[in-house]
Amino acid sequence: GTGCCGGGCLWFSQPANVDHPTLPHFARTMNPGVGGGPGDYSRYRPWRSPGAAPVLGSGCGAAGGGPMRLANGGNAPFVYKQGADAMDALPPKEPAVWTAGSEQDVAWAIAANHGGGYSLRLCKLEPSKPREGVTEECFQRTPLRFSTDAANGGAFSRIVNASAPHEPPTYVKRVTVSEGTVPAGSEWARNPIPSCSWCEGSRGVDETAQRCGMEYGLGELPPQEGTDIESNPWLQQVACLSDCAGADFGSFKNTSSPRPQGCAAPSTTQFPEPQPGASGFVGQKSLEELLIYDTVVVPEHLEPGRYLLGWRWDCEQSSQVWQSCADITIEPAPTAPVV
């Protein structure tokens, strides 16, 4: 990929929220010890009802998250107009070729860990007008399921260290959910890398809502442009939420003090680490170097032709939906020989 400096951390929608939570509790990624009430600050975040949060444009993402240039990362570089739709800004690529009925590997990497979970979908392109008709509704017509490796006892994601790509991957039991998702029954995978839980009180209860002004369903403050945190209440709240999840921006500015690998202790993660040090929020070695691989199943009776593969990440720590698209050609499944 291009990395964040090359525009890789760019295509998303914000603010994106849901009307009410439908996610089963076992799939929570932020403050999972809070099951409701005034401390449940993430109740309206996209992941709390996977696929339900509205997104901008085509479903491939908007440059910098939308028309407002907000100072919480992912800003559009000068080569792209702020809020530009990826379908309008990016050129087509030589498509990967998949066969109907096959299983295919997909991957993504985290630069900032906003919790939540993700889904892969396909949108059929019209041969005469391949850049038209690409919408979120089109992607929702063909959600993909993740492969289940029965030989190895279940469904796994694979975590690969990008600095040592030839080392064996770490296999992590994939947590999936298909209840309370949009479209109904579509399968989503929980982000396997936990962020930190650094705002617990003396009784071990998450106090993020109290500290960041989100008690009693107050929700997120209206987004406000500008980088001066002293005069930007919304940016203050974003920084507070990020610090509670492990950002520790104060330490980040002090280059003489290297940041810890992961969240420093297993007891300070939102859920158990898949491997030692594989946790945290942003800027830490464990996040910058970990790639998450999955295998998806291509429907056997899918019509051959050109498609877009859409990846959608619904966050729980932030009110963001991150998206990306790739060009795919689907070939027909081989026919059985006549004997």
Higher confidence at residue 29 or residue 248? 29
Q: Is the pLDDT of residue 260 over 70?
A: no
Closest CA to 324 of 55, 44, 42, 19: 55
Residue that has been written with the tokens 């996977």 in this structure? 50
Q: Is the pLDDT of residue 259 over 60?
A: no
Q: What is the pLDDT of residue 279?
A: 87
List all residues 6 or more positions away from 134 whose beta carbon is below 8 Å from its beta carbon.
58, 59, 60, 87, 123, 125, 308, 325
Average pLDDT, stretch 100-110? 93
Which of the four pLDDT bands, split at 50, 70 and 90, describes residue 27?
very high
The count of C-alpha atoms lying within 13 angstroms of the C-alpha of 153, restricted to the half-sphere facing its C-beta, is 3
Q: Is the pLDDT of residue 44 over 50?
A: yes
Q: What is the pLDDT of residue 253?
A: 44
Mean pLDDT check: name the lowest of 14-23, 198-207, 302-311. Answer: 198-207
Residue that has been written with the tokens 């790739």 in this structure? 326
Q: What is the pLDDT of residue 8?
A: 65
Q: Is the pLDDT of residue 285 over 50?
A: no
pLDDT in tens, 176-200: 999 999 999 999 999 999 999 999 8
Q: What is the pLDDT of residue 166?
A: 84
Torsion of CA 75, 81, 82, 88, to 10 degrees: -100
User: Are 197 and 269 contacting, i.e. CB atoms less than 8 angstroms apart?
Assistant: yes
Average pLDDT, stretch 46-71? 94
Name the maximum alpha-carbon separation found in the chain. 77
Q: Is the pLDDT of residue 153 over 60?
A: no
Q: Is the pLDDT of residue 304 over 50?
A: yes
Mean pLDDT check: name the lowest of 115-129, 185-199, 283-297, 315-329. Answer: 283-297
Which of the four pLDDT bands, split at 50, 70 and 90, describes residue 152?
low
Residue 56: exposure state from Cβ atoms within 10 A (0-12, 13-18, ≥19): buried
Residue that has been written with the tokens 């690529």 in this structure? 93
Q: What is the pLDDT of residue 247?
A: 83
Which of the four pLDDT bands, split at 50, 70 and 90, describes residue 94?
very high
Mean residue pLDDT across the chain? 87
Q: What is the pLDDT of residue 248?
A: 64
Higher confidence at residue 204 or residue 251? 204
Residue 209: exposure state from Cβ atoms within 10 A (0-12, 13-18, ≥19): buried
Q: What is the pLDDT of residue 160?
A: 85
User: Are 251 and 323 contacting, i.e. CB atoms less than 8 angstroms apart?
Assistant: no
Neighbours of 134 (CB within 10 A): 23
